[in-house]
A and B are shown apart, each in its own frame.
Chain A
Amino acid sequence: MVKKKKKTDKNAILNKLWHSISHDKDTDSLFSHSLLILAQALGRVEAAVFIWEPKEKVLRSQKVIRTDILQDGDEVIIVTKDSPLWGLSFGITDLVIDKQNQASICVALRNDDEFLGMLRITRLTGHRFSNGNLSSIRLFCTELTIAIKNLKIFLQNERHVRQLRASFEISSNIVKSLHLDELLKFIVKSIVTHMGFDRVRLYLVDRKQEMLKGEVAYDLRGTITSLEKEQYPLKPNVHPLVDYLFGKGDNLIQRSFHDVVVFVPLLIKDVVVGLLVVDNILSQQRINSEEVQTIQSFAGQIAMAVENARLFEKVEELSITDSLTGLYVIRHFKDRLKTEAYRCKRYGTKMALFLIDIDDFKTINDTYGHPAGDKVLQTIAAKIKGILRQTDFACRYGGDEFMTCLHNLNPKDTIQLGKRLIETVQNTGPLFEDSKFFVGISIGVAIYPENSDDIVKLIEKADQALYKAKEKGKNQIYGWWEL
């Protein structure tokens, strides 16, 4: 009768165990539930689940229960050859009874030949375990082992799904923009957001200047930081980041932080175009090999996207600038003019429009040839650029005409500035070899919105003023309001 009751109890415990832990999706819940059931079945015990770490040959406790109080474990047992747990860890035995305290046992959690850990149970009453107890505990451990193994597979799958999702999200973000600045921000932001690193920094190689230049960083707080101050010559022994590109970065110090700082070069056909630096320095969380592989797997894509964006910017630059003078082309100038007009209207500011014409340019071309004419155009363009402030801009309007937009100038200052430009051009001296030809310019000005709040009309008015300047003898400036 008693025997039967015990058997029923044993089955009931195992059923309860299965029922309880089959839904556990994390180790914490699995161990907590298992230990609670065990403690309920065995009465006053202290029990702990240990997980085996084969590399370090240590058993690390995960969860401990004393009577009915659960706690995370923080005990680490180093298993040496003379330790009684050596046999348990290496398959010689499945049960170790403490010689000094017979009320304490360690039972292996073993799946086939793989040792996963152990369960240590100590009866607080000091009573020894009966054979019946031991057989129940063994069965309990078998079930727990299967549950741990299943959970491991489940968690591994979940991790892979997370990595895949991160890869997918990051890959999608990489192609989101063709503008380099925007693209770089997308890249660093999506890596931090989807992979949970403390910080990601991105550096690009500038082959023209032979420099490694800092671009942008993003951190866990959601802060985007410009790294433009970080610029290192591409020479060995100047900076650790550059050394890394030269293959010399793997020194002792970097090795000691290899699990919290990862350097990933961005390569296209074995040519380095940049460097991605991922770190968990502050959170001190180990960056595991799977995560490193994930970053490496899209390093090529990032490099490609960066190169594409660079090419796109180059093409865009070419499409908006005049190849001879480096000034904007008229189409882009007009677009910007519209934007500036909107801004003037919104903030109540004004802008002056200069229409500049080179005096007697046809004579230069006819007398000295087109290369000389080109040289004149380039020189005048450079002089115009010289008077522009950061917010001003200019374009090549036609063959020998230029246009500038200058912000916040009153009529008096506008005329003064124009006169200074005329003087500068005049004082330049002969513009090409073997010539005594001095070039002059004439300027017509109209001010927005005072002279007109319509861009087309504003240009017409500047043209009328320019006509007047030409009519009055060239090499001078006229404002539309002076007509």
Chain B
Amino acid sequence: MSPVKLNFWLMPNGDFDTLNVIEKEIANFEKWHANIRIEPTIIPWSHAWDRLMNVHKHQSELVPPDIIQIGTTWVSTLSYLGVLRDISSFFDEEVKADLIVPLKEASRSLDSDGLAGMPWLADIRMLYYRSDILKSFGFEPKDLKTFDLFKNVCLTIQNKRKSIQDKFPFRLSGHSEVILIHDLAPWIWGMGGDFLSPDLTKVAFDGPKAKKAIRWYFDLVNGLYGGQNSKKRYGVIPAGTFFSGRYAMEIIGKSPLYNLSNLKHSNYSRKVAKNYGVISFPEGPKGKYQFIGGSSLAVPKWSRYPEESAEWIRFLVSSESQMRHGYRIGVFPSRTSLLKKYFKDSKQEYEVISATLKNGKSLPASPLLGTLERIINAFCDRVLKTIRSGKYSDNFLNKEIDQAAMEANYIFSMYT
């Protein structure tokens, strides 16, 4: 009997190396599963949603995917739209109990309350710093403990910069330095605000606490990227330059030390290992919260081979594959028990990540989460562009928050 061919859609988790990395996992899997062949297709995040929707609505692919990698913030909407199977029964209770809690919550099906996605790669956001750079400006890691202390460190370093060659205090996330809902969330939560009302029927990010947090955060961004400061930088700070000491701090969801591109430059890694540290997040007036997200593996309802697809997912979330894959692309495993092993060479990072998990939060499970994310991301994009153009003001920000809230409430009113 010829083997079953599974079409596996995944994202560029390690850029062009994604295929090489996943092919190693495929080879390991196929060694023990002669009856299953995995055929990977790499689809950028920006295209994946649309292609998935086209398969669901118009059966647009000749061979539809049997397994898909999806962002945890997509799970609610996709399960509501009837794209995903409940895959709980395919996994041992032991594995399910071991999943990082916010990731597991975010992967729940809105239909059945079971798992609509199996958490695979964890995005656990923490604040990484270069102690050598902080020291050169007279700061220590303890100076990052609270929101206000952190702001003070950022603005002091920024104000001491005279030219584009000087080190930057902080880098925004993503390749092109953007602000997304994940970046905004911990600041809002830390000031007692939230994105949605407790019953998830309307937005709450225009409430006084959330508004205060948003203003606080964008004032900080304006201090770093706005007006005169924009002259002290070229467009964006290149992503990997934490290692070359281009900037002092960044908040990211994967360890810079284990990042694939940096492992290739082991000289940097060794130097940085001595000079870098991590704290979970500065503490806000109402507590310390971090965003936890990532991506899950799911079996769409149209999958031709659900049993075999689940077998492949079981392999990818097994201890061995999670560790191998995690190291190769620099992401965290999705199972709590593996984190200690993952950080065997970095006790401090393990302690910080353990503390982070206690305060970690995911975004609320609502079918409208995807749309809310789009509205918030577009809002952040408009504000950041205005900051970069030097035209940012309090009045402008208030208008933008109200506009985004009106847009989101309009959408929520149509679905509740």
Contact = CB atoms under 8 A, between A and B. Distances in A.
A256 B359 CA distance: 36
B44 A74 contact: yes
A483 interface: no
Interface in B313-343: none
Interface stretch (A275-283, A424-432, A454-462): A275-283
A256 B42 CA distance: 32
Interface string A221-254: 1100000000000000000100000000000011
Q: Tell me what chain A mostly uses at the interface: helix, strand, loop, or mixed.
A: loop
Given A66-B16, A74-B46, A220-B82, A256 B368 contact: no
Contact of A69 (B16, B44, B53, B370): B16
Contacts of A196: 57-58
A240, A253, A254 interface centre (most CB from chain B within 10 Å):
A253
B45 interface: yes
A220 B47 contact: no
Q: Tell me what chain B mostly uses at the interface: helix, strand, loop, or mixed.
A: helix
Contact of A220 (B57, B374, B407): B57
A69, A72, A74, A279 interface centre (most CB from chain B within 10 Å):
A72
B44 A282 contact: no
A74 B45 contact: yes
Given A74-B47, A283-B53, A253 B80 contact: no
Interface string A34-72: 000000000000000000000000000000001001111
Interface stretch (B180-188, B237-245, B408-416): B408-416
Interface string B286-316: 0000000000000000000000000000000
B81 A261 contact: no
Contacts of B42: 70-72
Interface string B1-24: 000000000001000100110000
Contacts of B368: 281-282
Contacts of A91: none
B43 A72 contact: yes
A282 B367 contact: yes
Nearest to A198: B81
Contacts of A281: 368, 371, 411, 414-415
A284 interface: yes
Contact of A282 (B46, B81, B407, B410): B81
Contact of A284 (B58, B370, B410): B370
A257 B44 contact: no
Nearest to A222: B82
Interface residues of B, number: 32
B81 A220 contact: yes
Given A71-B16, A72-B44, A283-B53, A253 B410 contact: yes
Interface in A252-292: 253-254, 256-257, 261, 279, 281-285
Interface in B379-410: 406-407, 410
Contact of A253 (B50, B367, B371, B406): B406
Interface string B223-252: 000000000000000000000000000000
B49 A284 contact: yes
A221 B410 contact: no
A169 B57 CA distance: 16
A73 B44 contact: yes
Given A66-B16, A222-B82, A253-B406, A282 B58 contact: no
Contacts of A279: 414
B298 to A, nearest CB: 16
B77 interface: yes
B84 to A, nearest CB: 11
A368 to B, nearest CB: 59
Given A69-B19, A71-B12, A282 B77 contact: yes
Nearest to B18: A71
Nearest to B44: A74
A221 B80 CA distance: 8
A254 B370 CA distance: 18
Contact of A283 (B47, B81, B411): B81
B59 to A, nearest CB: 10
Nearest to B409: A253
Interface in B44-72: 44-47, 49-50, 53, 56-58
Interface of A: 66, 69-74, 196, 198, 220-222, 240, 253-254, 256-257, 261, 279, 281-285
Given A220-B82, A253-B407, A282-B371, 6 more contacts: A69-B16, A196-B58, A256-B407, A281-B414, A282-B367, A284-B371
